[in-house]
């Protein structure tokens, strides 16, 4: 019986990793550029230049897709960005 449960659990994880998702970060008026840049680097493990470009896009357009990948990883990225109360949304 526990074998069936393990298979079912693995299936659920496989399903999460196969669902494509995007994390959108929204602009706000209370975080500094430096705070947002640091948090993006922490969340998506990118270089400084990429984080600066994404931060500028968020600032100038009001939002930016900062991550595209599987749902499981998108949830992790969103959680890290939300650690400092950045406004994010996950799109499937």
pLDDT in tens, 36-49: 999 999 999 999 99
Average pLDDT of the residues in 20-45: 98
In a domain? residue 63: yes
27, 62 in Cβ contact below 8 A?
yes
User: CA-to-CA distance for 43 and 73, rounded, in angstroms?
Assistant: 10
In a domain? residue 1: no
- Report residue 34's pLDDT band, with 50, 70 and 90 as the boundaries: very high
The sheet with strand 63-70 has its strands ordered as 63-70, 20-26, 88-91
pTM: 0.82
Question: What does the pLDDT look like over 47-90, one tens digit per residue?
Answer: 999 999 999 999 999 999 999 999 999 999 999 999 999 999 99
pLDDT of amino acid 18? 85
Token output for 90: 């996950």
In a domain? residue 45: yes
In a domain? residue 86: yes
Return the SS3 of 24. Answer: strand
Domain count, the chain: 1
In a domain? residue 31: yes
Expressed as residue numbers, the domain containing 65 is: 19-91
CATH number at residue 72: 3.30.1390.10
User: CA-to-CA distance for 47 and 44, rounded, in angstroms?
Assistant: 9
């Amino acid at each position: 019986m526990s074998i069936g449960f393990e298979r079912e659990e693995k299936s659920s994880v496989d399903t999460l990793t196969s669902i494509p998702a995007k994390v959108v970060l929204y602009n706000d008026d209370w975080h500094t550029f430096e705070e947002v840049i640091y948090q993006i680097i922490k969340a998506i493990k990118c270089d400084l230049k990429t984080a600066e470009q994404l931060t500028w896009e968020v600032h100038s357009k009001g939002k930016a897709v900062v991550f595209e990948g599987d749902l499981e990883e998108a949830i992790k990225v969103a959680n890290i960005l939300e650690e400092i109360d950045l406004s994010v949304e996950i799109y499937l």
